[in-house]
Amino acid sequence: MTKVGQRDSPAKEEAPPATKKRFLTPGRFVTILCIINLINYVDRGVIASNGVNGSSKVCDAKGVCSAGTGIQGEFNLTNFEDGLLSSAFMVGLLVASPIFAGLSKRFNPFKLIGVGLTVWTIAVIGCGFSYNFWMIAVFRMFVGVGEASFISLAAPYIDDSAPVARKNFWLGLFYMCIPAGVALGYVFGGYIGNHLGWRWAFYIEAIAMAVFVILSFCIKPPQQLKGFADKDSKKPSTSIETVAPTDAEASQIKTKTPKSKNLVVLFGKDLKALFSEKVFIVNVLGYITYNFVIGAYSYWGPKAGFGIYKMKNADMIFGGLTIICGIIGTLGGSYVLDRINATLSNTFKLLAASTLLGAAFCFTAFLMKNMYAFIALFAVGEILIFAPQAPVNFVCLHCVRPNLRPLSMASSTVLIHILGDVPSSPFYGKMQDHLKNWRKSTLIITSILFLAAIIWGIGKDSNCFYFFSLIS
């Protein structure tokens, strides 16, 4: 009796601390990541809002000019130069994303996020203090550098923390912050810019992010990234899988643990392995085309709405539409994928169908002369267009080995931006400078969504598709 009691007693005393006394549960941790993602995208909406971005001076036929407003008015920017501010941000994001992905194999990934958020906060403050085009362009580039750490590493943490049956829904919550953040940025930027001045929008953003900069250095994630060694224990981690790994999978994880200390060599090998994945290539090609349009919409949407329909509160209207439709579309797409048999083929069918229908509704919307008809059709189109957000990133996470996921996310980010929304913002601006017709410019951009649907539609028939191992 005594011996049995001696055996049982320690087990009863040691079990609770491991499971019940941890404050930072996976759900709370993911909530923190979602809020950080929301603030990141609020910044993207702020820089595009009429209250912050403003407008250049306008002169009538008699030569009488009205003063410009916001960044464009204060720095006297053309639409092309204005679009370059978006591209400057993307340059920083693109250069830094693969660097952070590579460093994650040598340093604690969550601490790297903290370093990136610190850079982001300082750079946003710098945007508020800028006094010419080149100064704000450089600071926008460093905002992109700061965000790169988060974009590359946050999604794998969420994917590892999510219950297997709700994996897509958790990713949907994370990616829902993209449209919600941009939309809140439109509203926030419009209000602050009109009442306190455009510079204060950046200062307030920095204050909000500073809280999470401190948290990132003080808290420890509830789990270690799958396929990565714990930086303290020096052991390969497989503990965070929502489905227990098979012996073969565990063996694969061990054999893939890098032995070389040369980061450049390791990066080259990982990059070669990544681009040998046909699923990744097809997915990213469609994503590039899709993001070309989304980038132009997010940056020029409020101005196009004002130019076509003379909306008095374009920031509020586009912001409100994007918040509601973005939430419904993103969560709806992730919910549908959780409910269907989530093969890669089925995922591409969902991507193609939602993008095709969304393109049709948005194209028809911009043909409408009546503003209310436009809003109704565009709302349906936005819901469908935002549906791919979680599925397309889920493919990026699950078409590669676990230890390649940060590089997969980083490479996807680089490609969809450098070939997508980096050129699309100045392209749209240049096209508008030439056409001087907001409706025609927007219809041309919208038509590119049909190409994205075609690419993802072709992808569904690829012979390289296989079942997602983690949800089978």
Please provide residue 275's backbone torsions phi and psi, each rounded to the nearest 5 degrees. Answer: -80, 5
27 contacts 170 by C-beta, under 8 angstroms = no
Chunked into runs of 10 residues, the chain (472 residues) has average pLDDT values of 45 47 74 91 86 72 67 81 79 84 78 90 93 89 89 79 77 84 86 88 93 86 59 37 36 44 74 86 92 86 82 74 85 86 81 94 93 91 90 84 82 85 84 88 93 87 44 37
Q: Is the dihedral of CA 185, 327, 375, 79 positive or negative?
A: positive
User: Distance (Å, rounded) from C-alpha 72 to C-alpha 59?
Assistant: 15
The pTM of this model reads 0.70
140 contacts 225 by C-beta, under 8 angstroms = no
User: Distance (Å, rounded) from C-alpha 308 to C-alpha 288?
Assistant: 27
What pLDDT is recorded for position 360? 95
Please provide residue 361's backbone torsions phi and psi, each rounded to the nearest 5 degrees. Answer: -65, -45
DSSP letter at 238 equals -
Kindly state the tokens that stand for 22: 């941890």
Distances in Å between the Cα of 94 and the Cα atoms of 34, 86, 151, 181 are 21, 12, 11, 20
- Written as one letter, the residue type at 83 is G
What pLDDT is recorded for position 67? 66
DSSP letter at 343 equals B
User: Distance (Å, rounded) from C-alpha 290 to C-alpha 351?
Assistant: 10
DSSP, collapsed to helix, strand or coil, labels residue 226 as coil
**Angle 68-74-75 from CA coordinates, rounded to 5°:** 120
Please provide residue 34's backbone torsions phi and psi, each rounded to the nearest 5 degrees. Answer: -65, -40
Work out the number of other CB atoms within 10 angstroms of the CB of residue 374: 20
Q: Given its phi and psi angles, is residue 76 left (phi above 0), alpha (psi -120 to 50 degrees) or beta?
A: left
Residue 443: burial class (beta carbons within 10 Å; 0-12, 13-18, 19+):
middle
- DSSP symbols for 97-133: HHHHHHHTTTS-HHHHHHHHHHHHHHHHHHHHH--SH
User: Distance (Å, rounded) from C-alpha 209 to C-alpha 120?
Assistant: 9
User: Distance (Å, rounded) from C-alpha 397 to C-alpha 225?
Assistant: 13
- Written as one letter, the residue type at 368 is M
For tokens 């397309």, name the residue: 392
DSSP, collapsed to helix, strand or coil, labels residue 244 as coil
- Written as one letter, the residue type at 296 is A
Q: At what angle do helices 278-309 and 438-459 cross, to 10 degrees?
A: 160
Kindly state the tokens that stand for 272: 């070669």
CA nearest 326: which of 393, 392, 381, 382? 382
390 contacts 168 by C-beta, under 8 angstroms = yes
DSSP-based helix, strand, coil % in the chain, nearest 5: 80, 0, 20
For tokens 């040598």, name the residue: 106
What pLDDT is recorded for position 299? 75
41 contacts 181 by C-beta, under 8 angstroms = yes
Distances in Å between the Cα of 312 and the Cα atoms of 94, 161, 467 are 36, 44, 50
410 contacts 152 by C-beta, under 8 angstroms = yes
CA nearest 130: which of 146, 143, 117? 143
Q: Which residues pair with 59 in a beta bridge?
A: 65
What pLDDT is recorded for position 22? 63
User: Distance (Å, rounded) from C-alpha 259 to C-alpha 75?
Assistant: 52
User: Distance (Å, rounded) from C-alpha 174 to C-alpha 167?
Assistant: 11
What pLDDT is recorded for position 222? 67
